Amino acid sequence: MTIDKETVEKVAHLARLELTETEVQDNMKDMSKILDFMAKLNEVDTTGVEPLIYMTTGANVLREDVVKQQITHEEALENAPKHDDNYFLVAKVIEK
Q: 21-66: per-residue pLDDT in tens?
A: 999 999 999 999 999 999 999 999 989 988 888 888 888 888 888 8
> What pLDDT does residue 76 have?
87
> What pLDDT does residue 68 have?
83
Report how far residue 84's alpha carbon sits from residue 22's, in angstroms, rounded to the nearest whole number.
47
DSSP summary character for residue 51: P
Report how far residue 32's alpha carbon sits from residue 1's, in angstroms, rounded to the nearest whole number.
8
Residues 6+ apart with CB under 8 A from 4: 28
**Orientation angle between helical segments 21-42 and 5-14, nearest 10 degrees:** 100
73: confidence class by pLDDT, cuts 50, 70, 90: confident
| Confidence (pTM) | 0.51
Q: What is the CA radius of gyration of the chain?
A: 25
The CA–CA distances, whole Å, from 30 to 25, 40, 69, 81, 87 equal 9, 15, 47, 41, 45
> What pLDDT does residue 50 have?
87
Residues 6+ apart with CB under 8 A from 38: none
